[in-house]
């Protein structure tokens, strides 16, 4: 079987189940030119059949996962490896295919100005493929955050918004390929900045600050519960945005479901309060795929032991080492939900957050053919057998014994 799909060639994936429109359906998946197509007009109007037929052997086909917050992985850190950023991107975008991630937002944490000026111009939106997952745009996490809720961000480089949007532009140099910008809504002049931007987080702000931020256009709470005021019955903080009566638009919130950052009970509370806004993120750092030892996140050193990553010599969490498929599995168990909800929190929801749900995050007709084949016999394990981008196989689990392997790279 030819591993390269020719233009206009139609591939039919059969003998599979598909996650579509909130359900698991028994159906075939048809792909042409990197896009999922409706087979009916192809058959009845064009009067053609599939050029290639792939037997999925009862696998479950799910939309490719989208990670909107990942700091690095496989020994690389996007915020400190600024001199080899292209090498770092290539290593990470290739490595995360094994966990089913087909697109992502490389995240830059609070850094010196010169790092932004060197790194940001080198990270471009880029289609995925054999080279790895698609780059959807940069996530800038800082430096406009609260010094009281800095987490793994060096306090020396945290800044205020003295001159509003001019300060933002001067700090970063360019926002051309930026998809998400995290800032604290309680900062002076945050309102005027948020009206031009979209994100907020790492905040010491209360509910009122959050409501004002959302009214100015903010739409995402970066890693809910972490690096923000805790819930209090007289001021629920940013957590209260999940049930606020004063927000004019849908609100989304990130959850690091690695079993470390968020207690299962807290995760259940968030999910049962606003399930459609939950976006799974890994917040993965350089140790992803490696394990114990000393690693870098931005300007700081992180010590990893087991599944935990802390700033060296402290008890401050510094990112995660959990891949996305593990986060989905842990979310499903903690929130007591099935595979459909687990997958949608890592695909459809982030796609909606980024405004790209017409092309990403689903297996609807017209969407990009970015998808994963999961072990159909135990889908709850979220075991990734194969990852496809644009209808082409870009990763195959070496241990997966399937005819699909003949179709893979």
Number of Cβ within 10 Å of residue 313's Cβ equals 8
CA dist., res. 21 & res. 24, Å (int) = 8
319 is known to lie in a ligand binding site: yes
Q: Is 140 annotated as a binding residue?
A: no
Q: Per the annotation, does 141 bind a ligand?
A: yes
Q: How far apart (Å, rounded) are the C-alpha atoms in residues 403 and 326?
A: 25
Q: Which residue has the tokens 């290539």?
A: 90
Round to whole Å and give the CA distance between 394 and 128: 9
- State yes or no: is 283 an active-site residue: yes
Residue 309 in marked binding region: no
What is the dihedral angle through the alpha carbons of 7, 357, 125, 250, rounded to the nearest 10 degrees? Answer: 180
223 is in an annotated binding site: yes
Q: Is 229 annotated as a binding residue?
A: no
Q: Is 114 annotated as a binding residue?
A: no
Q: Are 204 and 184 in contact (CB under 8 A)?
A: yes
77 neighbors 286 (Cβ within 8 angstroms):
yes
Residue 226 marked as a ligand binder = yes
Q: Is 98 annotated as a binding residue?
A: no
As a residue count, the chain comes to 409
Q: Is 230 exposed, middle or buried (0-12, 13-18, 19+ CB in 10 A)?
A: exposed
Structure-block tokens of residue 392:
């082409």
Indicate which residue of 77, 283, 368, 370 is catalytic. 283
Binding residues: 141, 152, 202, 223, 226-227, 234, 261, 317-319
Active-site residue list: 283
Binding residues for substrate: 152, 226-227, 234, 261, 317-319
Binding residues for Zn(2+): 141, 202, 223
């Amino acid at each position: 079987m030819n591993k390269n799909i020719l233009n206009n060639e139609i591939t039919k994936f059969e003998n599979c189940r598909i996650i579509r429109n909130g359900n698991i359906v028994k159906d075939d998946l048809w792909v042409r030119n990197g896009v999922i197509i409706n087979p009916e007009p192809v058959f009845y109007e064009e009067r053609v059949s599939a050029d290639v037929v792939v037997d999925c052997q009862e696998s479950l086909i799910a939309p490719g996962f989208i990670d909107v917050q990942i700091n690095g992985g496989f020994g690389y850190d996007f915020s400190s490896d600024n001199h080899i950023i292209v090498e770092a991107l290539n290593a990470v975008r290739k490595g995360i295919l094994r966990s089913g991630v087909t697109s992502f937002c490389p995240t830059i944490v609070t850094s010196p100005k010169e790092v932004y000026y060197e790194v940001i111009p080198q990270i471009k939106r880029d289609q995925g493929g054999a080279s790895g997952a698609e780059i959807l745009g940069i996530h800038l996490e800082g430096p406009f955050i609260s010094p009281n809720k800095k987490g793994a961000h060096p306090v020396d480089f945290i800044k205020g918004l003295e001159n509003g949007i001019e300060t933002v532009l001067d700090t970063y140099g360019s926002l051309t390929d930026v998809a998400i910008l995290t800032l604290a809504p309680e900062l002076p002049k945050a309102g005027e900045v948020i009206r031009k931007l979209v994100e907020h987080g790492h905040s010491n702000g209360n509910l009122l600050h959050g409501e004002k931020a959302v009214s100015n256009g903010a739409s995402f709470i970066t890693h809910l519960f972490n690096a923000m005021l805790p819930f209090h019955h007289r001021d629920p903080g940013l957590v209260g945005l999940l049930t606020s009566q004063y927000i004019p638009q849908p609100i989304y919130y990130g959850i690091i479901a690695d079993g470390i950052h968020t207690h299962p009970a807290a995760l259940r509370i968030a999910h049962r309060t606003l399930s459609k806004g939950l976006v799974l993120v890994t917040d993965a750092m350089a140790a992803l795929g490696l394990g114990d030892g000393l690693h870098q996140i931005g300007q700081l050193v992180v010590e990893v032991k087991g599944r935990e990553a802390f700033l060296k010599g402290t008890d401050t969490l510094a990112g995660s080492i959990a891949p996305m498929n593990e986060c989905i599995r842990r979310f499903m168990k903690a929130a007591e939900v099935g595979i459909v909800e687990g997958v949608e929190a890592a695909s459809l929801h982030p796609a909606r957050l980024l405004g790209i749900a017409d092309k990403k995050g689903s297996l609807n007709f017209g969407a990009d053919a970015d998808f994963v084949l999961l072990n159909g016999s135990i889908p709850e394990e979220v075991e990734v057998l194969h990852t496809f981008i644009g209808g082409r196989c870009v990763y195959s689990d070496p241990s997966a014994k399937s005819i699909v392997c003949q179709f893979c790279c």
